[in-house]
Amino acid sequence: MVVLQISNLKTARELLQEDVTLNGAEESLIVDATRRIYADTAPTAAALFALDAWFEDDQRNFQFWTRIFQRLMN
């Protein structure tokens, strides 16, 4: 997986989601990958990904990243 800076939100979000859509990865694996890539800022990254999806009127991805954010906060 390529590590991207948060400044390129859409690309980073799509790369992380690719594991779910193409490989059928569990959400827990996306949570782990987000933690590995963004460390202490993982919840912030997930929140930004959710917000980015919301701004693009992408409800499915907005809900996905909201669930990831909630898991990262617990």
Question: What are the sequence ranges of the domains in the chain?
Answer: 31-74
Sequence letter at residue 35 = R
Task: Please check the confidence at residue 1 and state whether its pLDDT lies above 60.
Answer: no
Please tell me the distance from the alpha carbon of residue 7 to that of residue 22, in angstroms, as a whole number.
Answer: 24
Sequence letter at residue 32 = D
pLDDT at 70: 96
Nearby residues of 18 by Cβ (< 8 Å), 6 or more positions away: none
Q: Is the pTM of this model over 0.85?
A: no
Sequence letter at residue 4 = L
pLDDT at 12: 72
Q: With cut-offs at 50, 70 and 90, classify the pLDDT of residue 47.
A: very high
